[in-house]
Amino acid sequence: MSNYDLQVVSDAAELARTAAAYFVEQSRQAVAQINGCAVALAGGSTPKLLYQLLADPREPFRDQVPWKKMFFLFTDERHVPPDHPESNYRMAHEAMLAHVPVKRTQVLRMEGEKENAAEAAQDYEDILDELYGVNTPDLELVLLGLGEDGHTASLFPHSPALKESERPVVAPWVEKLNAYRITLTLPVLNNAASVMFLVSGVAKASILKEVLQTDPDPDRYPAQAVKPTSGNLIWLVDEAAASLLK
Ligand code: 6PG
């Protein structure tokens, strides 16, 4: 992969602090420029520490984020209700959104509870259409994680969703999970002003090396397909995850 910034920090705690500082910087810059900031929150477990840090009143970040000007989207969601242990919304809500001064209308939740995941994807697309019209959403910041199989958001290896070039949100069937997911598509991810991957732990060392240091094969490693058209791409990783990088 080319055209990205790789930042290696000591451990998961330092990764969360570094990401929090970047989150503050990007959100304040966006609010200064366009009086708002739309962020797509990553799911999974890695971002939880970051979200907790941003909301923690004992930490400097909380008072620095322009919460009232923020819009929170999600990169993807599981096909579950918002109170389900697997819900990305629930994780972000419990770690951050419930503890900071944002209105419900500032949080754009993917409705994973809908029986028909495709309908939930269409509903989210309708929300994005209201906000961005016919244009591809141009989010100020997208946070992403990296799965051990090279997936990111809910774009899994060899998924037809990787080929989606028009729709901003789709609901792919994920065979290995025996479940539907709802996910932003590459046109949205690659239209962002800034994309930050958060990768932590030795379990990610092998896939991180594959993604960053082998020839591009985005169908096999979807994270390689995240290449912002004009935005910044930052891989923020800790030493354990970076341990196999040359
Ligand atoms: C999800 C995420 C997914 C996640 C990776 C890494 O819904 O699970 O969107 O892409 O970021 O699987 O997950 P961890 O942070 O838990 O390792």
| Cα 144 to ligand 1 centroid, rounded to whole Å | 8
| Cα 33 to ligand 1 centroid, rounded to whole Å | 31
**133-164 pLDDT, tens digit each:** 989 999 999 999 999 999 999 999 999 999 99
Task: Find where tokens 């923690």 sit.
Answer: 56
Q: Does ligand 1 have an atom closer than 6 angstroms to the CB of 151?
A: yes
Nearest by Cα to 137 from 123, 126, 151, 148: 126
Give the gyration radius of the chain's Cα atoms. 17
pLDDT score for 20: 98
Q: What are the C-alpha distances in Å from 189 to residues 26, 42, 137, 164, 169?
A: 16, 12, 9, 12, 11
pLDDT score for 2: 66
Does residue 113 sit in helix, strand or coil? Answer: coil
Type of residue at 169: V
Local structure of residue 155 (DSSP, 8 states) = B
Mean pLDDT to the nearest integer, 126-132: 96
CA dihedral angle for residue 221, residue 142, residue 110, residue 50, rounded to 10 degrees: 100
**Residue 139 to residue 228: CA distance in whole angstroms:** 11
Mean pLDDT to the nearest integer, 97-124: 98
pLDDT score for 134: 86
**65-74 pLDDT, tens digit each:** 999 999 999 9
Predicted confidence (pLDDT) at residue 1 exceeds the cutoff of 70: no
Q: Which atom of ligand 1 is nearest to the CA of 204?
A: 17
Q: Does ligand 1 have an atom closer than 6 angstroms to the CB of 191?
A: no
**4-52 pLDDT, tens digit each:** 999 999 999 999 999 999 999 999 999 999 999 999 999 999 999 999 9
Mean pLDDT of the chain: 97
How does strand 173-174 pair with strand 179-184? antiparallel
Q: Does ligand 1 have an atom closer than 6 angstroms to the CB of 88?
A: yes
| Cα 145 to ligand 1 centroid, rounded to whole Å | 5
| Cα 42 to ligand 1 centroid, rounded to whole Å | 7
| Cα 31 to ligand 1 centroid, rounded to whole Å | 28
Nearest-CA residue for ligand 1 atom 13 is 44
